[in-house]
Amino acid sequence: MKAPTHTCPVCGFLKLHEEPRTALGSPSYEICPACGYQFGVSDDDDEISYEEWREDWVARGMEWTSKGIAKPRGWNPKKLLP
Ligand SMILES: [Zn+2]
């Protein structure tokens, strides 16, 4: 069975390993490899909303952020944006 994946609410990346925030509100602390948003840090500590981060990321050209995780073949951020 394949592990379930989750969609990034900032950039629409489809393969986060964990739910960004559970129904009870606890953050995953996962960093989205596409847009670089870290749930529980970028929002809670840095107080940057999904929308603000998304605007900024789009303005910077929607580059793949992760150095450790390879960009998936065919990744098309324009099609994924929520
Ligand atoms: Zn993302």
**Ligand 1 center–CA 1 separation, angstroms:** 25
**Ligand 1 center–CA 46 separation, angstroms:** 16
Q: Which of 3, 7, 71, 61 is nearest to 33 (CA)?
A: 71
**Ligand 1 center–CA 54 separation, angstroms:** 8
**Ligand 1 center–CA 10 separation, angstroms:** 5
pLDDT at 2: 73
Going from N- to C-terminal start, the domains of the chain cover 28-63
The tens-digit pLDDT sequence of the chain (82 residues) is 677 899 999 999 999 999 999 999 999 999 999 999 999 999 999 999 999 999 999 999 999 999 999 999 999 999 999 9
The DSSP 8-state label assigned to residue 3 in this structure reads P
**Hey, what's the torsion of the CAs at 18, 19, 23, 29, to 10 degrees?**
70
pTM of the model: 0.92
